[in-house]
Amino acid sequence: MLRPLSARRIENNDPPLMVLDDPRRFCSSPIVLPLAVFQNVVRHFNGRNRLEDVQKIVLDTTGERLDAAFLQRLIDDLDRAIAFEGATFEAAVRDFHEAGERPAALAGRSYAAEPRRLADELDRYFRARGGAGPLALPAPKRTRSEPVRGPRLRAVVSPHIDFTRGGTAYTWAYKRLVEESDADVFVVLGVAHQYCRSRFVLTRKDFATPLGPVKTDQAFVDRLVAEAGDHLFADELTHRSEHSIEFQAVFLKHVLGDRPFTIVPILVGSFHDFVTRRVDPITDPEVARFVAALRTAEEAGGRKVAYIGGVDLCHVGPEFGDPEVVDSAFQDRIRRFDRSMLDRAEAADPTGWFRTASDVGDRWRVCGLAATYTMLHAIGPSQGKLLRYDQAIDERGRCCVSFASMVFHEADAANA
């Protein structure tokens, strides 16, 4: 039977087409079918119908006698594309779990796959209008006897929108990080855009990037598991296609170069049930235990740790279910709402951050709500500062995504 794939029509083609995209990116590219073939044939591949059953359904509904050889070729092609549940898909899943490295899922799609082109692309974002300004690359190597001067950088918030729309906003977080932080471990809290059974999802895999691998800190992961449980790997497959951490790994590798560092990649699932119940998430044992595990793992490791929140803010417009298009007045309304959220983030107030969204039922779909909440609890008393805020809106006003870059310093020295 067909795996869960997202489908979109292309009507202005002759013939009309159906494009199937794989949220998990096991399919190496979108599957493009004539719309009639999808509607009359492929949608009947449900795991119960045999080949002859599909032939009869097509004959009964269209009057067309479907050639068995054509039907078998179509089935074989879809199986090779890993569109079906079954042995081919199970082998691909097994290969992922057995691999020590997570492939760069969006290299060549959302950003350049060739190292020099990618480095040039990222450099341009720093220099572009709206960017944070040129950065001395690669980052200087530091030793423990050569700490960064000034207040200790505790965390940054960075967007996870695609680089084309938000690349310049990323640079504000990463310029501050590379110039002010001497951390050698970066705990990256990303957003799980797919359903997860647990609130937090770990992986031990290193992250491949065109610029070289980004190593995962195995000892830190071990300590998290010891404190919070190995169920944190139950949804590890979600890491395979999730971009919210991948984009941070790419930027980190670019700005830090060959400076030694590791990451702790953590995807944070939905807190929507807490929004619905108007409950502060920290009162939930799973959330409280994981936050405590982060603090314990950091304290026990004896290394310099900084946090990265790979998050976006509001998602509004007809594309996300709103009835009205996003005009300038709508954008202003979102900007004011975001400002109220960011005020609470600057104060390192996770309860206020969450309450601001939950008080309106999260009507503007803050996709970084849970990851940022977790980060604010984990970093402890801090002072944040908004560095850059922006909105990406399509020309028809059907889709608007807001995002920001922020920096956080320890509260006892936070005058950045």
Query: Residue 102: its pLDDT value, please?
Result: 96
| pLDDT block averages, 10 residues each, the chain of length 416 | 89 88 82 92 91 91 91 92 91 90 94 97 97 79 62 95 98 96 96 93 98 98 97 95 97 95 97 96 98 97 95 96 96 98 98 97 96 98 97 94 97 56
Task: Kindly report the pTM of this predicted structure.
Answer: 0.88
DSSP secondary structure of 284-333: SHHHHHHHHHHHHHHHHH-S-EEEEEE----EESGGGT-SS---HHHHHH
Q: What Cα–Cα distance (Å) separates residue 183 from each residue in 60, 98, 116, 247, 258? A: 66, 30, 26, 19, 14
CA-to-CA distance for 94 and 62, rounded, in angstroms? 40
Dihedral sign, CA of 171, 121, 390, 341?
negative
Query: Residue 145: its pLDDT value, please?
Result: 57
Query: Residue 29: its pLDDT value, please?
Result: 81
In the chain, the amino acid numbered 384 is: G
Query: Residue 311: its pLDDT value, please?
Result: 98
Quickly count: other Cβ atoms within 10 Å of residue 26's Cβ. Answer: 20
Show the CA angle centred on residue 183, arms to residues 187 and 125, nearest 5°.
80
In the chain, the amino acid numbered 296 is: T
Query: Residue 28: its pLDDT value, please?
Result: 75
Q: Options 3.30.379.10, 3.40.830.10, 3.40.190.10, 3.40.50.720; which CATH number does 102-413 get?
A: 3.40.830.10
Range list for CATH 3.40.830.10 in the chain: 102-413
